[in-house]
Amino acid sequence: MEIYSAFLNLLRDGGPITWIICLFSVITSIIIVERLFHLHRAQINVPDFMRGVTTGLSRENANTVEAISICGENPGPVAHILRAAILNSRRGEKKMCEAVEDAGLAEIPRLERSIDALASIATLTILLGLLGTMLGLIDLFKAIEGQGTWVEVGQMAESIKAALISSAAGLTVAIPAIGFHNYFTNRVKSIILDMEKAAAEMIHFLVDREIAVAGNVPTEPEEIEFSEPLPPTANVETLPGPDEIAEAGAEPSVARESEETIERAAKETV
């Protein structure tokens, strides 16, 4: 109770600027708690998760329904990326990459939501604290101007106190806001890197294995075996014709024998 009373007295002594800074501190606290909870749910053990999904898809009777259900049970963006890749595995590598890219573009804004607001609040609270300090010094010089040399120490202390409280309040809100902004930015970068790695591994896995929604697709064609060897084909064109023999100066009887030999070879080929 005493702490609450002392806090109210500080706000009262700091003036209206301090109340505005206090409002920003409440907004900052809400953003920090919400982002901590959201990023904690989004961060998963990616190697173990990838191992579980690929193990189910590598079985002999692989069924992508089980893999999709595993991805649906996990709320993180990595699971959503892998789910998009598996659902579009039958549409080819190009369509699968496009689906993964679209899923990533939908997940990144959710990860970065309200993080930039922390940086804005930090800047505003510092400036508001500076403004409160300036207003307190203005009140101090007004008092000196009005009373001349005989200025009451209590009145001077009141103005200086209001100026210092405003600056302290602004820094009190700005310091954790900047710190958590940098922390959340690094966490988001780490999650995005996990998303990219997991998506690339899953796309290569699906392309190499050629896994469709119904199961595995055979990658090598079956060899065709012939029960009997094919008969050899005689090359009739290599034999000289009767006209060629006659032109070479052979006798007509030899030409007739050559013609009979060609006909006999053609019949044996058929």
- The pLDDT of residue 226: 43
List the domain boundaries for the chain: 2-216, 236-269
Q: Given a cut of 80, is residue 243 above it in pLDDT?
A: no
Predicted TM-score of the model (pTM):
0.68
C-alpha closest to that of 263 among 241, 232, 233, 231:
241
Confidence band of 216 (pLDDT split at 50, 70, 90): very low
Contact 84/103 with Cβ under 8 angstroms? Answer: yes
Average pLDDT along the chain:
78
- The pLDDT of residue 6: 76
The whole-angstrom separation of Cα 58 and Cα 80 is 20
Q: Given a cut of 50, is residue 222 above it in pLDDT?
A: no
The whole-angstrom separation of Cα 37 and Cα 136 is 40
